[in-house]
Amino acid sequence: MKITRRKLTLQLTPLLDLMLIVFFLQYLQLRENEVQRATAAVVVQQDAVRLAGELEVARQIAADATSASDALKRQLTAERQRASTLAGEAAAERTRTDQMLAREEELGRLVVELFNVPQSDINKVLNDPGAGGVARSPEEVAVLRKQFQDLATATSARMIRHLLVFDEIRKRCDVWEVFVDSQHLVTVNTGARTASLRLNIRDDGDPDLARFETDFLELARGLPDPKSLVVILLTYDRGSRLIVTEALHQAMPEITRKLARQMTAVRFEYADLGIRVGP
């Protein structure tokens, strides 16, 4: 039996085409993978930049919060120190107030005791006539006697109010105390200054009121500038001669009017309190 040999013929062109297709597909796959990796890298980079920005913002917020916290702590410390200082000042003020109230209470009690004037002295003041020789009316004596009794029996609180009212009045006006002693020496006490002048007696036995008026006006011009209101209070010693006190009682209103004309911005008032009891 005869064996026939067949000739094997390979077609390389299709194989080459197939190989090229495979290579191209692999190339496309690699290209796509590279694009995906590049895209992913860009996304990662963008995320990193965004996260870095957010981290910086968070860090700044944390720094601001820390700074604000420190400022609040300092403010709280300062407020505590201020509160402590104010508490100390309040305690000191309460102590001073308590001491002042205690002193005022004691002062009021002492003044009440001081106004417990002996009845004999009150009678002397109320019953003696004024410089003009005119005795007080029974109604005036009754009113003054009641005022003395009220002052003698007043509570310390009421006396303190009385003194405070008197002090406020004195702040708004000046009081000139004009006192005539038994030797005809006239003393003017304004509170801030004391001056004296003599009321001379003429050869005919009458007071020289013209000279006294001139001397008094000259003395008044040399005194410190008074407040807008001046009250002139005339008192005299029990031993003063009636001719002297009566002459002054008549002359002082005219002297007061001349003072008002000289000092137009000042109002002058005059009152005769009569005999001074005590020094």
**Is residue 136 pLDDT above 60, yes or no?**
no
- Listed in sequence order, the residues at least 6 apart from 219 whose beta carbon sits closer than 8 Å to its beta carbon are 188, 195, 197
Distance CA(144)–CA(132), nearest Å, equals 19
Average pLDDT over residues 32-46: 82
| pLDDT for the residue 131 | 44
Average pLDDT over residues 257-269: 88
**Is residue 10 pLDDT above 50, yes or no?**
yes
- Concatenating the DSSP letter of every residue in 108-164 gives HHHHHHHT---HHHHHHHHHS--TTSPPPPHHHHHHHHHHHHHHHH--HHHHHHHHH
Tell me the pLDDT tens digit for each residue of 237-262.
Answer: 877 778 888 888 888 889 889 988 88
Tell me the pLDDT tens digit for each residue of 86-123.
Answer: 888 888 877 776 776 666 566 555 555 555 555 555 55
Q: What is the DSSP letter of 35?
A: H
pLDDT bucket at 38, cuts 50 / 70 / 90: confident
| pLDDT for the residue 163 | 67
Q: Enter the pTM of the model.
A: 0.48
**Is residue 233 pLDDT above 80, yes or no?**
yes
Tell me the pLDDT tens digit for each residue of 148-164.
Answer: 666 666 556 666 666 67
| pLDDT for the residue 134 | 47
Least confident of 121-130, 139-148, 196-205, 252-261: 121-130
- The separation between CA 73 and the C-alpha centre of its own chain, rounded to angstroms, equals 32
Distance CA(204)–CA(187), nearest Å, equals 24
Q: Average pLDDT of the chain? A: 76
Tell me the pLDDT tens digit for each residue of 41-60.
Answer: 788 888 888 888 888 888 88
**Is residue 279 pLDDT above 60, yes or no?**
no
Q: For the stretch 84-116, what's the b/e string if a residue is b when 16 or more beta carbons lie within 10 angstroms of its beta carbon?
A: eeeeeeeeeeeeeeeeeeeebeeebeebbeebe
